Amino acid sequence: MSDVEQQAREVKAFLDRLAERNASRGQEPTWIAARRQAGAARFEALGFPTRRDEAWKYTDVRAIARGDFVLTDNAEFSPASAAALTLPIEAYRLTFVDGVFSPALSDLGDLPGGVAVLPLSQALAENHEAVGGPLGRLTGVEFSPFSALNTAFMEEGAVVRLAPGSVVEKPILLQFLSRANAEPVMSHPRILVEAGSRSQATLIEHHVGESEAANFTNLVAELMLDRGAILTHYKLQEAPLGDLHVASIHVEQNRDSRYTSFNLNLGGGLVRNDLIGELNGEGAETNFYGLFYGQGRQHIDNHTLANHNAPRTFSNENYKGILDDRARGVFNGKVVVKRDSQKIEGFQSNANLLLSDRAEIDAKPELEIYADDVKCSHGTTTGQLDEEAVYALRTRGIDEQTARGLLTLAFAGEVMELVDLDAISERVELAVAGKLPERFNLAGLVEAAVALHDE
């Protein structure tokens, strides 16, 4: 069978699954049906990306394309198992099991006035026209084959609306649980956030599941920040190692808004994240902080893009990669300064730590500048643990495993020190360094190791 025939067969398998689903659906609003058709048509035209596509040259998605994934309608999940997986944090919580909303595992409590957090299915049932305008405005079917596939299949997800001036004190937690099913399951969740002017909130997107799960998640998130809005977005991706995870996150920022992303990837066998920021108003600020930790044969690909579409906008990016065993990481970060976007500042840094001779990283920072009064910089480095620093710590009675764990954590310190939520920091520390005797002051670790080394 030729490659073309194979690819056509793969696409047809997904479209057949879509046709089965469509046959079982009830009547839908016209605009939803039209978008499904557009998504399916676009996906059929594009097919799955291959390594001949520049944006996918380091990431092989055949495990997705050749997978036989079913859709599910139930959200059964042991409460005890869910409790063991969930973040121990006080939050407004929406839970999805293999993409299906679980009321039993959700708890919204008393939301502040002017704040709405609800599953997409409920938002569509209550007022589908209010959803139809913003949904798909940032991420259309043209963005990628996966966004087209998501649009064709979309059924569930989360809608968050913040009225102007509203402040949400507790985080809003969107929890996605993956089950160990008899057959692998696929889900195509959507997240839609509309943050009104001067509103403020913290959003946590948490992906986790049963260790034997082997499902496919294809998520699209659209986040819209009006003038002066502040949104901090934690993505903690701890999916089981058999899971396949693709996400497209688009952020639109108006004047004086501030968006901060913590993109923390620890799990998943195959992971691809696209994070795109559109800085459309003067004074808008975006911060992209990322950490990816891969082991075994994990493959973690992060693509970021900050578009400075207006003058006096600010972007700051710092991504750290830690790779062990035969894991492979990809970082592609791009900053684009449009014509007439004067007096912008755009900084980008990527550093990678290889803990094994067989681990690999492909890093590509990019700048495209079409204005002349700007401050921009970018850079990437790759290295290994300093064996003399390991030795220096061991001379102080610290065993080798702990010494390596501490130095690895110290490498991640620039990003992790900015994380305000202990529950998230502790999950990352446990994954990266294992169980340590006690919480360590990450800020002092590098200095301590260097000082010991210099003695």
For residue 281, the tally of other CB atoms under 10 A from its CB is 21
- Residue-level pLDDT at 406: 87
d(CA 134, CA 120): 13
Number of domains in the chain: 2
For residue 1, the tally of other CB atoms under 10 A from its CB is 8
Domain span at 445:
401-454
- Residue-level pLDDT at 447: 61
* Angle between helical axes of 30-46 and 145-153 (0-180°, round to 10): 150
Shared domain check, 357 and 410: no
d(CA 292, CA 264): 6
Band of the pLDDT at 2, cuts 50, 70, 90? Answer: confident
- Which residues, including other chains, have CB under 8 Å from residue 298's CB and lie 6 or more apart? 241, 268, 269, 270, 271, 327, 328
Any domain includes 62: no
Give the 3-state secondary structure of 192-260.
EEEECCCCEEEEEEEEEECCCCCCEEEEEEEEEECCCCEEEEEEEEECCCCCEEEEEEEEEECCCCEEE
User: Across residues 318-333, what is the average pLDDT?
Assistant: 97
Residue with tokens 């089950």: 179
User: Across residues 52-80, what is the average pLDDT?
Assistant: 96
Shared domain check, 119 and 215: yes
Shared domain check, 207 and 78: yes
Closest by CA to 58, choosing from 274, 375, 325, 332, is: 332
d(CA 8, CA 48): 9
Inform me whether the pLDDT recorded for 87 exceeds 60.
Answer: yes
Q: How far is CA 255 from the centre of its chain?
A: 24
d(CA 396, CA 410): 17
Inform me whether the pLDDT recorded for 436 exceeds 70.
Answer: no
Query: Which structure tokens are listed for 276?
Result: 């795109």
User: Across residues 238-257, what is the average pLDDT?
Assistant: 98
Band of the pLDDT at 4, cuts 50, 70, 90? Answer: confident
d(CA 318, CA 282): 22
Shared domain check, 313 and 434: no
Residue with tokens 């409590």: 109
- Residue-level pLDDT at 122: 97
Any domain includes 109: yes
Shared domain check, 211 and 188: yes
Any domain includes 56: no
Any domain includes 276: yes
- Residue-level pLDDT at 393: 87
Residue 186: strand, helix, or coil:
strand
Shared domain check, 166 and 235: yes
Inform me whether the pLDDT recorded for 452 exceeds 60.
Answer: no
Instruction: Identify the H or E element spanning 162.
Output: strand 157-162
Band of the pLDDT at 397, cuts 50, 70, 90? Answer: confident
Name the average pLDDT for the chain. Answer: 94
Any domain includes 406: yes
Q: How far is CA 219 from CA 175, 183, 321, in A?
A: 13, 20, 22
383, 400, 417: which is the final residue of a domain?
Answer: 400
Closest by CA to 54, choosing from 386, 286, 400, 332, is: 332
Decide: 70 and 50 in contact? Cβ < 8 Å: no
Shared domain check, 421 and 308: no
Band of the pLDDT at 335, cuts 50, 70, 90? Answer: very high
Question: What single-letter DSSP state applies at residue 41?
Answer: H
Any domain includes 337: yes
Any domain includes 383: yes
- Residue-level pLDDT at 1: 76
- CA angle, residues 110, 115, 117, in degrees to nearest 5: 80
pLDDT in tens, 193-211: 999 999 999 999 999 999 9
Shared domain check, 243 and 334: yes
pLDDT in tens, 114-130: 999 999 999 999 999 99
Residue with tokens 């290889």: 354
Any domain includes 43: no
Shared domain check, 442 and 347: no
Shared domain check, 212 and 301: yes
Inform me whether the pLDDT recorded for 445 exceeds 80.
Answer: no
**At 125, which amino acid appears?**
A
